[in-house]
Amino acid sequence: MSLYAQWMESLKSTNHVVVSNHLETVIKPIPDADRTGDLDPRVFATLTANHSSHDEPDTTFDLEVARASMGWPNRDQTTTDIKTEYLMIPSEDGDIPVRLYRPHHTEAIPAILFFHGGGFFGGTLETVENPCKLLAERANAVVLSVDYRLAPEHPFPAGLNDCYRAFEWVYANATELNVLRDQIAVAGDSAGGNLATACCLMEQERGEGRICYQALVYPVVNLGSIPTDDFKWALDAYDISHHHDLIRGVVLALADPDSLLNDLYLQGEVDVTHPLVSPLFADDVSGLPPTLIVTAEYDYLRLEGEAYARKLARAGVPTRLIQYRGMDHAFMDKLGDYPQADDCMNVIAKGLKELTK
């Protein structure tokens, strides 16, 4: 068995599971390190290899530079043939490009709409292609990766409308797509996780409830990091026992003290606590579908993701929270390098299969 395969087995088998107040929390330890309060060795190697970029952070923001810096050259981990199709979903606001990943099947199978991350202003279908292909294989589902419009050229709610329009199109064309109309899920990472759960909130508003499952990978759910009755961001909530300065820098990398994301995405037109912007502020989440929330231990967004999991569980939504120890934000992009990225696709697939078997 290869070292990578051993790490994968460890991630499957050495989980710490806690069930409290109807919320199942699964802690996945670093597969090849015993100590806690530290980075995964692969994350440490990646960060220290690029240490020069952390020495003197450039406080000026260049949109194109920021966009170009996103993503990671990940690898295809599939072992079967996954067919890729390039589609355009018709929309009154301009057709929406989509990549469709289809495993071999003859019977109708579930569908998953996937929304990439990138702070609402960046990210590409290219970065998430290999994760989406792997998800299609592991879940035995058709995965549609949506190239929604980005801010600041297209501020809120343009991108969200594209995502919801894509869902409606899949639902309407389920027979032609050979997918099961009652087994359509949404998933996304970071900003994409926000868009996925916002689509579920839009479904709830319309009284539809046609989305069967949501999988949110380190989602943005409180765009302004605004305190609530159940959430207050604090650095001391993170267990840091080693490499203190490095880990603090990693955690704080996504802090947005100047509200840059808000300015790019909302442009002063919408309050940051609008529930379709910050789903943690939704008054009622009881109609949302069964939910998986995945977090990284050393991610600024971890605490809001945990608060959202608690909110959903309190409202009676079947919710599973998974935390990968030692990981930082955007680890899913590093498929083929980080076994946790591979395992993340497994747990998303498992969650869908448990609902649809």
Residues catalogued as catalytic: 190
Separation CA 198–CA 144 (nearest Å): 17
C-alpha–C-alpha distance, residues 60 and 339, integer Å: 34
- Edge-to-edge strand list for the sheet holding 319-328: 16-20, 23-28, 319-328, 291-298, 211-217, 179-189, 109-115, 142-146, 96-102, 83-89
Query: For residue 351, which of 293, 282, 275 has the smallest C-alpha distance?
Result: 293
CB 84 within 8 A of CB 76: no
Closest C-alpha to 256, from 279, 233, 276: 233
Say if CB 297 and CB 325 are below 8 A apart.
yes
- What amino acid occupies position 1? M
For the four alpha carbons of 332, 338, 344 and 349, in that order, the dihedral sign comes to positive
Residues 37 and 241 sit within 8 Å (Cβ to Cβ): yes
Q: Side chain identity at 137, as an amino acid letter?
A: E
Cβ atoms of 257 and 225 within 8 Å: the answer is: no
Residue 181 and residue 171 in contact, taking contact as beta carbons nearer than 8 Å = yes
Task: Return the beta strands (E) in 171-290 as ranges.
Answer: 179-189, 211-217
